[in-house]
Structure formats: C-alpha cells, structure tokens
Amino acid sequence: MIGLRSAEREHYLKLGGNFRDDEKFYRPGFEAALHARTRCKEFDQVSAEMASDLKELERQYPDAEIAAPFTRGYQRGREYYQHLCEESKAA
C-alpha cells in the first residue's frame, strides 16, 4: 500500500476533483469497498449499508458534498481490490 495515497490523489486530480478537500470523504468509500461485507459488490448493491456511513459524514460536515467523492472512492476501492485479486491469481 506504499504509494497508494499518492496514486489515488493523482487519479482523482485527473478526473478534475479536489483531492485535498474530498479525501476525507473519498477514503471512507475506498476503505468500505475493501471491507469483507461489501467486497466485490457494486455500490448500488450496498447503498443501504453505506447510508449510515454517509449520514455520519453528513452529520460531521453538514455543508459539504459527500456522496460523489464517497461513491468515487468506493468505485476505486473495488477496482483496486480487483487488481489485487488478478495479481494474486497470476502469481
């Protein structure tokens, strides 16, 4: 995982996002995708489970746009996990 944060920052910036401001929402989404209970599932399949995470973030940051960076983080976390699986199969 060394270098993962900087790689994700670069990817996010290429999409036009502001990683410095959004990381606190992006990271929980990314980490949620790696959790055993949600791993390999599309965001819409786990949106009910993610609702409590989103509500907590909304409570902490009432004026921030949270859903989009959280969802992006979740999607990138899924891609990252899939990449790890493919690497382990190839080894």
Sign of the CA dihedral with 58 first, then 64, 68, and 74 last: negative
> What pLDDT score does 33 carry?
87
Rounded-to-integer distance, Cα 74 and Cα 80, Å: 10
pTM reported for the whole predicted model: 0.81
> What pLDDT score does 2 carry?
58
> What pLDDT score does 66 carry?
93
Rounded average pLDDT per 10-residue block, the chain, 91 residues:
80 88 92 83 80 89 92 90 82 67
Distances (CA, A) of 65 to 4, 17, 42, 59: 24, 12, 21, 12
